[in-house]
Structure 1
Amino acid sequence: MKLLVRNLSRATSEHDLRTLFAEHGKVTTCNLVLDKETGQSKGFAFVEMPNDIEVKGAIKALNQATVDKSKIRVKLADA
């Protein structure tokens, strides 16, 4: 299942996200969206996890959590 992670700090790296979500289950992909011109984070990412139960646990644990001084939002990505 694909998750949309929003309101990320510009300082949060793809590795940070992968590590954060791996605490809640297996992460198959993690893509931090970068600005093409500056190479800086646009403040959102997509994380894929194969297990529905782990996805629900990650959403419950991480939605509205503070990461790098930003309160992130986590939800299922639109298909």
Structure 2
Amino acid sequence: MQLLVRNLARTTTEQEIRELFEAHGTVTECTLVLDKETGKSKGFGFVEMPDAKQAKLARAKLHETRVGSNKIRVKTAQEK
């Protein structure tokens, strides 16, 4: 299950996101979306968790929690 993580501080790293979600289960992929021109974070990313039950638990536990100075939002990503 792919989760969308929004409202990340521009300084948050992929490793920090991965560690946050790994506390709730297996993470197979973690991608921070970067601006193509500056290479800096756009403030959101995606986390892939193969176990839907773990992903739903992570979404419930982490939605609207503070990461740094920002309150993040976590939801199920829409299929392309």
Tell me the TM-score range normalised by the shorter chain. over 0.9
Give yes or no for the alignment of 1:24 onto 2:24: yes
| Gapped regions of structure 2 (runs ≥ 5) | none
The count of corresponding residues between Structure 1 and Structure 2 is 79
Distance 1:45 1:4 in 2: 6
Q: How big is each residue's C-alpha offset from its partner over 1:9-28, in whole Å with a ceiling of 9 and x where there is no partner? A: 01100000001000000000
Q: State the identity as a percent.
A: 57
User: Which segments of structure 1 move beyond 4 Å, counting only runs of 4 or more?
Assistant: none
Tell me how far 1:74 sits from its aligned partner. Answer: 0.2
Structure 1: runs of 5 or more not aligned: none
Equivalent position amino acid for 2:65 in 1: A
Per-residue displacement from partner, 1:26-78 (whole Å, max 9, x unpaired)?
Answer: 00000000001111100000000010110111011100000011000000000
